[in-house]
Amino acid sequence: MHQRDPWFDAPIRPVRLGPSACEVAHDSDGNIRMRLAEPLQRYPRRYTDRLVQWALERPEHVFLARRPPHGPQTGAWETLSFADTLRKVRAIGQSLLDRDLGAERPVMILSENDFDNQLLALACTHVGIPYVPVTPAYSLLSQDHAKLKFLNERVRPGLVYASSAAAYGRAAREAFPESEFVASEAGGGATPFSTLQGAAPGNAVDAAYDAIRPEQVAKLMFTSGTTGEPKGVMLTQRMLCSNRQQVVQAMPFLLDEPPVLVDWLPWHHTFGGTNNLGIALYCGGSYYLDPGKPMAEAVQPSVDALREVSPTIYYNTPGGLAALLPYLRDDAQLRARFYERLQLLYYGGAVLPAHVWAGLDEVAVKHCGERVLIVSGIGSTECGPVPLTTGRDPRREAIVGLPVAGVELKLAPVNDKLELRVRGDCVTPGYWNDAERSAAAFDDEGYFCLGDAASFVDPTHPERGLRFDGRIAENFKLSSGTWVHAGPLRCTALAAFSPLVQDLVIAGSGEDHVGALVFPDLAACRALDAALAADAPASEVVASPLVRAAFQQRLDALAAGATGSSNRVRRIVAETEPATLDSGEMTAKASLSPVVVLRRRAAAVAELFMDPPPARVLCANDEALTVRCMSLN
């Protein structure tokens, strides 16, 4: 139960959401089957059908907007209307057809969010040529470009695009020596992107568009590969169209007026590139490219954008919301713009810390006298990416909600948990050129196995939805044979250490107790000790006696509230090196990758289980321990 505060029970701004009536059946083998009573309504056959529709019905409406590439970064936006976008998409589509590109020779996109990136992606989808968006880190942060070379072997692209030949040219030449390299800022032998836009679209474009089938692959999205080689998820035209309709039925307010999004989330990830951008296109809305990043030191461009543009729905990660919160507290102009027409705030990628959630509620209530609904769901690249979402006030819990219309949900017993498995139009047919892993991803009834566990909020009222119950793969056994469910324990620990931590990772596989690697929120920790300078380094901050005492108090309280070894965190290490995208510990969603953290910081993990522990390990001061608390220093 979350601690009540003056805004916990404040009224919520009215927002039109879909029905929650559902059908539930229990099998004799322990499976629980669930679906919404509302059927999935008709949806388009092709992803760009809506682009064609809006180009006719609202041709001058802004679809895409960005800061001018070489102009002012505040107060100015460069825009593309729906009519402009379709005209450019058709021209580029003709150029792609002229190059004989297709499923055997798809298009690969290496660079960051930008107009040309999206125009190329839409052109591919419009004429039935698969495209592959790839994280820029594979090009910019790698010296050997091993992952790009792997993708070349798996996909064999006929055309590779990047925003800049200077930045991406070396990676493109080394990893894709047989592919045409196209760049917006060309040079070094790259084909200028303007060449693609210069073609005159003919009957071939219309014929290719008309020939698109719902089962045709529209794009491939490769997973991060933190637990093995990246897997190429096939997203079909049917998946892209059906899941946008499913989201709209869950959130029908999106059709009450054209939605406005201000979004930084990368398009090579399914959250930003499939859902967020797709919602703007499907609903005839406007998508403003936010040049900021979800970190305290890089959030200012996001603040500047939100001072100028009022979103109707706001998507972000917990890290991004935490970085934005101090500005919402202190900046009246930002608050006025942000809350002017905001109907819903949606987070994904990780659990939203309790203190961040409470802070967002506080700011909203103080500014406009009501809370704005904050929800989440289950995101999966293989599921379009929203198979479940929340349609009610979650009361600051990690609620994943209900299956969207048209999705059949099965809760299957795995060990002592219930795994989420789904079937429906938004689910992938499998992985590109990978029959073995495609087969392994589905059970014997054709349900895709998500690997997430869930439990009912209230078994007597299934319409209240499901709560997140951890990742099946992250669970482990102690030396006693007792299962540790890392996801729920992490949520409990985050709440206990709030607001002193940004995130933490649970450890202890094969050990006799549970430990955690803690990533401190340095700003919150510095505020505990007036003697600390505003720029005091992390090592100095965690060495502060007042900071140590605060962590000790919270660790003791967490341990005292545990019911057994499986949910008692006995030791923590406060890490002074932040997790970063460069190291692979931070994903594109700005959330931690526990597998990478535990592997990369194996030495720190080992310290958690040494007897006696090193001085920097902090130990819970409960009666079961024989080792007394030691310094965080």
Q: Which of 149-153, 159-163, 186-190, 227-231 has the lowest mean pLDDT?
A: 227-231
Q: Would you call 338 helix, strand, or coil by DSSP? A: helix
Instruction: Report the pLDDT value the prediction gives residue 629, as an integer from 0 to 100.
Output: 36
Instruction: Report the pLDDT value the prediction gives residue 260, as an integer from 0 to 100.
Output: 98
Instruction: Report the pLDDT value the prediction gives residue 259, as an integer from 0 to 100.
Output: 98
Beta-carbon count within 10 A of 174 CB: 14
Longest alpha-carbon distance in the chain: 80
CA distance 106 to 91: 18
Q: Residues 354-365: pLDDT tens digits?
A: 889 999 999 999
DSSP secondary structure, 578-617, as one string: PP-TTTTSB-TTS-B-HHHHHHHTHHHHHHTT-SSPPTTE
Residue type, 243: N
**Mean pLDDT, residues 485-514:** 91
Q: Which of 19-28, 35-44, 188-197, 577-586 has the lowest mean pLDDT?
A: 577-586
What is the chain's Cα-based Rg? Answer: 25
CA distance 539 to 520: 11
Helix, strand, coil in percent for the chain, rounding step 5: 35, 20, 40
Instruction: Report the pLDDT value the prediction gives residue 227, as an integer from 0 to 100.
Output: 46
CA distance 313 to 375: 11
**Mean pLDDT, residues 378-389:** 96
**Mean pLDDT, residues 92-111:** 98
Instruction: Report the pLDDT value the prediction gives residue 625, as an integer from 0 to 100.
Output: 42
Q: Is the pLDDT of residue 473 over 90?
A: no
Q: Residues 39-83: pLDDT tens digits?
A: 999 999 999 999 999 999 999 999 999 999 988 889 999 999 999
**Mean pLDDT, residues 540-558:** 95
Q: Residues 219-257: pLDDT tens digits?
A: 999 986 444 578 999 999 999 999 999 999 999 999 999
Instruction: Report the pLDDT value the prediction gives residue 589, as an integer from 0 to 100.
Output: 57
Residues above pLDDT 90, as percent of the chain? 81
Beta-carbon count within 10 A of 416 CB: 9
**Mean pLDDT, residues 322-329:** 95
Q: Residues 125-155: pLDDT tens digits?
A: 999 999 999 999 899 988 889 989 999 999 9
Spatial CA neighbour of 562 closest among 524, 516, 601: 516
Q: Is the pLDDT of residue 576 over 90?
A: yes
Average pLDDT, the chain: 92
Q: Is the pLDDT of residue 476 over 90?
A: no
More confident residue, 164 or 478: 164
Q: How far is CA 57 from CA 82, 123, 249, 356, 418, in A?
A: 9, 20, 22, 41, 46
pLDDT tier, 583 (very low <50, low <70, confident <90, very high otherwise): confident
pLDDT tier, 623 (very low <50, low <70, confident <90, very high otherwise): very low
Q: Is the pLDDT of residue 300 over 60?
A: yes
Instruction: Report the pLDDT value the prediction gives residue 481, as an integer from 0 to 100.
Output: 78
Instruction: Report the pLDDT value the prediction gives residue 479, as an integer from 0 to 100.
Output: 80
Six-digit token string for 254: 């999106």
pLDDT tier, 416 (very low <50, low <70, confident <90, very high otherwise): confident
Instruction: Report the pLDDT value the prediction gives residue 627, as an integer from 0 to 100.
Output: 41
Domains and CATH numbers, the chain: 22-41+379-473 (2.30.38.10), 81-213 (3.40.50.980), 475-619 (3.30.300.30)
